[in-house]
Structures are given as structure tokens and as C-alpha cells.
Structure 1
Amino acid sequence: MSFGLSSGDLVGRWSLSFSDIDFVNDKPELARLGLAVHLKFFTAHGFFVQDHAAIPADGVLYLAELLGLEAEAVNHYDFSDGTARRHCAEILQHLGFRRLKRVDREQQTSWIAK
């Protein structure tokens, strides 16, 4: 599956905010581009990418340019290993996701019942 991008989609979906850049640059250089791809793919599609084939090449090139990295660096990132899974959890935290607590479930149930 491939997700091609128009130029408007490229900027809209793959641009990094200042906090995103800080988040990505806090990691070792070899992991930065893969982490950025994970982050932007998730925000664009609502799920984490599992393999390189699903990543739009123009998105990788755009992120590499934004971060001052070589686009080929993404080939050194394994989107299915333990580090990538840990990065997924860190991305969710970075984006403000958290586990539902009991009070959250009760409020959701009450809201649905209305």
C-alpha cells in the first residue's frame, strides 16, 4: 500500500512543528528520520507504519530536508523492532494521548447514554 502525496498534502501532513523537531532531535541521529516518519505517518493516517513500502518517498525526502539528514537514513530504521515500538509509545505521549482512567470511562459512558 502506498500513500502518494500532492504538494499541499506534503506540507500539510509532513511538516514538523517546533515541538516535533525538539522531540525528534532528542534522539540519536540514526533514529531521527525513522522517528519523524513514524510521527507524521501516525498524525496523517491514525496508525503507525509497519514497513518501508507504505511510506511515501516524497514525505521521507521532505522530512530529511527539514531535519538536515540524508533520506537514506530511513533505511536504517526498523519500523517493527522494539525501539520502534517504544518510539510509538513516546509519540503517543508527545501528542497528548494517555490511557483511559476509570473516571474517563465513566464520563464517556455517561456522554454516550445521553
Structure 2
Amino acid sequence: MRQDWEPEDLTGVWTLLEDDMKKVRNKSGATRLGFALLLKFFEVEARFPKSAKEMPAAAVEYVAQQVKVGAAACADYDWQGDRIKRHRKEIHEGLQVVENGNSANKDLFYGKDGDPAGADKESQEVSMLAPHLLQSALVHVDTLLTQEVPADAKWADKPTDADRRALSPLFWTQVNRYGRFELDMNSRLDPDLSIRATVPGPRTTQDEAAGVSA
């Protein structure tokens, strides 16, 4: 995470949107500020900070003004304890990362009100295997979509490495959970399997050094 931010960049990247403000309304003091910083940091870097030292001072001041908490409260936030773990999970769920993908289990579950359909072993096996099959198929289709869009010529040069690291096939808001669907095992999707989107490698110490010097 680079440490030098111009006013225009701060406004464009670290401004809390309406949905962001909804997430911090039930929090106060250092907890409110810390959560807001975690949220915006994750949106920028597609990862969470290892410590408060990674937070740019200008960003802390700017976010603190928005949540109406003193910037000094950043040092009082629990950067290593259970609270930050809960906040990371909350942010993941809100942004549809891993935990939100798992939350689809209840809606995709084969049964009544999330309960296995029947007390016999076979019915329970079907109840458990059905969502596993559906999720596997859903992730496969979503993976093809997340590869196809960045590979389009008009989008190819726009995502940064941090943007590409943030891409995830674990979304399911496009799923229609209602109605009757006829399964045709003789028809197939026609995705362009020749697409090979650029996949950024893991972050390195050189990346961190370049970010600080930028």
C-alpha cells in the first residue's frame, strides 16, 4: 500500500459510499474508524493490512473525518485480536467473498426450510450432495464469466493487479431460486474456452517496496 496520496486520489479511493456508511453506523469510536479503514483498504488492495503501520496517514485522517472519529483512535483499534477477525468476516460477507459464497448453502439446499428431506439415509445423502453439485456447477460458470470479461479488449488494460486479485467466482446474486427448471442433459453451454485471462502472481516484497516508493 503506497503511503503518499494526493487529495484527488483520496477522494476517489477512500471516500465512504452510502453502503459503506451503513456498515459503520452500528459502531463507535476506535471500532468505527478501524472497521472503515479495513473496508476501504480491502477494496484497494484486495487483502487486509497486517498492522496499523500499513495505513497511509492521509487516508486515516480522511476516513476519520467522514466517520466523525478522531484520527488518533486508529492506534486504539484492536489490530490483532478477535474483534478484527469478526470485522474481516463481516467485510467478506458484505463484499461476497468466501463466507458469502458459503452462505448460499441455505438457499441452494435441497430440502424444506434448510432441513434434510426425510429421515432415511438416502434422502439425507441427496440433501447434502445436491447443493455440492449445484455449487460446483455455479462456480464453474462464474469462473468462465470472470475470465471472459477481463479478457475483452475494452477491459483488458483497465484492471490493476490488485483488481485482478480481488476477482472471485463465489458470487450467486444472479441465481433465480424460484420456479421450475427443466434439465436437458443433451444441451451444453457454449463458452469460449480459448480465453486465458491474465492472472497476477502473489504479492512479493518487491511489490510492497514499489508501492511505498510510488
Kindly tell me the number of residue pairs found equivalent between the two proteins: 114
Structure 1 position 53, deviation (Å): 1.0
Q: 1:108 to 1:2 in 2, by over 3 A?
A: closer
Give the distance between the partners of 2:56 and 2:9, measured in 1 at CA. Answer: 11
Report how far residue 6 of structure 1 moved. 1.7
Residue 107 of structure 1: how far off its partner (Å): 2.1
Q: Residues 10-25 of structure 1: matches in 2 within 5 Å?
A: 10-25=10-25
Q: 5+ unaligned residues in a row in structure 1: which ranges?
A: none
Question: Gaps (5+ residues) in structure 2?
Answer: 103-134, 148-191, 194-214
Residues in 1 aligned to 2:17 and 2:143: alpha-carbon distance in whole angstroms: 34
Once residues 65 and 109 of structure 1 are traced to their aligned partners in structure 2, the CA distance between those partners, rounded to angstroms, is 39
Aligned ranges for residues 78-97 of structure 1 at < 5 Å?
A: 78-97=78-97
Name the counterpart of 1:62: 62
Determine if contact 1:2/1:53 at 8 Å carries over to the other structure.
Answer: no
List per-residue Cα deviations over 1:47-75 (Å, max 9, x = no partner): 10111111000100001101111001111
Q: In structure 2, the residue corresponding to 1:99 is in which secondary structure? A: helix
**Is contact 1:33–1:63 with CA below 8 Å preserved after alignment?**
yes
Identity %: 29
For residues 21-52 of structure 1, give each alpha carbon's deviation from its aligned partner in whole angstroms, at most 9, with x where no partner exists.
11112124330000000000000111101111
Partner amino acid for 2:89? Answer: A
Structure 1 contact 13–44 (Cα < 8 Å) conserved: yes
Q: How does the TM-score come out when normalised to structure 1?
A: 0.85
Tell me the distance in 2 between the aligned counterparts of 1:23 and 1:32: 9
Per mean C-alpha deviation after superposition, the further-off stretch among 38-47 and 71-80 is 71-80
Distance across 1 between alignment mates of 2:21 and 2:53: 24
For the pair 1:104 / 2:138, whether they are aligned, the reply is: yes
Cα 1:8–1:37 shift into 2, 3 Å: same
Structure 1 residues 53 and 107: CA distance shift in structure 2, 3 A: same
Aligned to 2:128: none
Greater Cα radius of gyration, structure 1 or 2: 2
Partner Cα distance (2:67, 2:52) in 1: 19
